[in-house]
Each structure stands twice: as C-alpha cells, then as structure tokens.
C-alpha cells in the first residue's frame, strides 16, 4: 500500500514550483488562481524570492501548500491508499485526498498563517530541537521545568525517534535546553522560528482558525487521513474538522502516524512537495519502508 505524505514549514526554497509552472498548463492555471485568491503575487516570491522573504509565515505556509497540492494534481492516476501531512502539510493532504477544494484549502492556510503570525507577536516564544533523547525523557524534563519555573514548555513535534521539538516561552525553552543536555541529549538547539507553534501560545490562532474551519465545506476524503493530533486514520468529516482545529495547540505526532500507517499496511511513502525532509524521517521511523519523492 502507498501512503502520500506532505511536508510542513521549513521545506521552502527559492525557485520552488517554477519548473511546474513553466511546463504544466494545469499547474500554471492553479498558480495564477492562487495569486488571485491571496491578493498578492506569491508565485513571484516562490520563484525568485530571497530566503528571508520565503521565511515569512504568511508566505511560507501558502507557498509549501501550493507546491505540494499542485504537484499532486499533476500526478496521473493519483490514488493514495492513505495520506498524512506534517503540521501545515495536513491541509495539503486533505486537498489532495479531496476533503477540501483547492480554493478553500488555500484560504484556510492563508488564514492559519496570518493567525499564527499574530499569536507569535503577542508574547515572545520559541522552539528547540532535542536530539538523541527518548520521547519519555523529553516529556519528563518538560514537565519538570514547567513545575519548577511555571513557564510553558511542551513537546511540539514528535519527528522521529531521537528527534523531538519542544515549544514554549523563551525563558522556559532556555532552561529546558540546559536540562535536556544534563539528561544526556546530544544537542538541544533553539530554532530560528517566529514563535512557539503547537503549544498553548497558539490558542488565539486556534480560536480564529476554528471559526474559519467550521464555516468551510469538507467532503469525505478518497482515503483515510492520519492526523497529527492523534496519529489515527479518519474519513469522518466531523472528526477531521475537530482534529484540524486542535492541531495548532497540540503536538504533531509524526512518529506515531508513520508507525500506524505501517501497521495498517503502508509499504511505500511518497513525499509530495518541496524537499526530502519527510523521506528522511520515515527512514528513521520505519527503515523497512520504501520512500520516494514525486
């Protein structure tokens, strides 16, 4: 069985989607439509923008979504047995599987990006990558730091065994990084991100996005989607919407999602979108699985 997986923020690069635009009429049409929907020339930034321009949340998220979704739309006989997306990639997966229209998916992603940007500006917050420490130990240290300092520190991205990203207040993350190293982490590295994604700091964004999701039409997907919040497959529209709403403040259970997909019969994972990050993570989670890009 083949699972298609869709990347999240961080996979962007200058020139992304340019070849698709120039060689595929269907892709060109969708990119042009996206400029119209967003009200600015996102294709110009995607094709020619600097790394700095591409790093802005309101550009990054729609750009990765567009590259992923338009790429999927050009695949002949696109019939995944299951899909999943990492954080933002969950929206790409839902559009690719027919649960959301291209237009509605893009509008939700633009709304999500703007709401997250706003939430980041309310209180300074950040994230850090913890390497070579068990998930249980990372969870334990986060809990202890919160108990001792009353600062917000939570697991945010379960990327693969030995790689967990934590999220929280600047002070809390700095203390947690020291404690992680003391506990045996190979590295605990503060990331250059706008704020604490997938943490309680995203609550204002979650509320804003919840309203938009509730007012958007969702359809039953063509195959199950394994969602970040619980790592379980769903085809039920109401469950999908609920999980999508909670995604912003809950951790991304990527390791668990891939494990569940393998347990349910996935033998091949195809990454659809910019970069090869997810192929690398899948290899670490399920070395026996075949990986490929589009």
Instruction: Report, as residue numbers or ranges, the catalytic residues.
Output: 87, 198
Report in angstroms the alpha-carbon separations of 74 from 20, 55, 134, 200, 245.
Answer: 9, 26, 40, 38, 29
Report the alpha-carbon distance of residue 163 to residue 132 in Å, rounded: 6
Q: Are 56 and 279 in contact (CB under 8 A)?
A: no
Interstrand relation of 187-190 and 290-293 (parallel, antiparallel or unpaired):
unpaired
Task: Find tokens 């083949």 and name the residue.
Answer: 2
b/e burial code for range 251-284 (CB count within 10 A of at least 16 → b): bbbbbbbbbbbbeeebeebbbbbbbebbbebbbe
Task: Find tokens 């979108």 and name the residue.
Answer: 273
Interstrand relation of 233-234 and 225-226 (parallel, antiparallel or unpaired):
antiparallel
């Amino acid at each position: 069985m083949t699972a298609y997986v869709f990347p999240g923020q961080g996979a962007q690069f200058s020139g992304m989607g340019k070849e698709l635009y120039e060689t595929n009429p269907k892709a060109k049409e969708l990119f042009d439509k996206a400029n119209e929907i967003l009200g600015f020339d996102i294709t110009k930034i995607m094709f020619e923008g600097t790394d700095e321009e591409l790093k802005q949340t309101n550009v990054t998220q729609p750009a990765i979504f567009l590259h992923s979704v338009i790429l999927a739309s050009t695949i002949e006989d696109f019939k995944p047995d299951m899909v999943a997306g990492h954080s933002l990639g969950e929206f790409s997966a839902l559009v690719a599987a027919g649960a959301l229209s291209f237009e509605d998916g893009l509008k939700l992603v633009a709304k999500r990006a703007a709401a997250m940007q706003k939430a980041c500006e309310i209180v300074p917050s950040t994230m850090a990558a913890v390497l070579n420490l068990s998930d249980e130990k990372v969870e334990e240290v986060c809990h202890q730091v919160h108990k001792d300092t009353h600062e917000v520190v939570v697991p945010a991205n379960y990327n693969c065994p030995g790689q967990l990203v934590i999220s929280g207040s600047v002070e809390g993350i700095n203390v947690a990084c020291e404690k992680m190293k003391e506990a045996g982490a190979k590295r605990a590295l503060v990331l250059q991100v706008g704020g604490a994604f997938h943490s309680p700091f995203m609550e204002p964004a979650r509320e804003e996005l919840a309203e938009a999701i509730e007012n958007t039409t969702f359809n039953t997907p063509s195959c199950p989607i394994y969602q970040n919040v619980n790592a379980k497959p769903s085809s039920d529209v109401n469950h999908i919407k609920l999980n999508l709403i909670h995604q912003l403040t809950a951790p991304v259970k990527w390791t668990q999602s891939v494990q569940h997909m393998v347990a349910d019969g996935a033998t091949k994972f195809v990454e659809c979108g910019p970069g090869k990050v997810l192929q690398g993570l899948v290899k670490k989670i399920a070395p026996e699985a075949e990986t490929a890009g589009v």
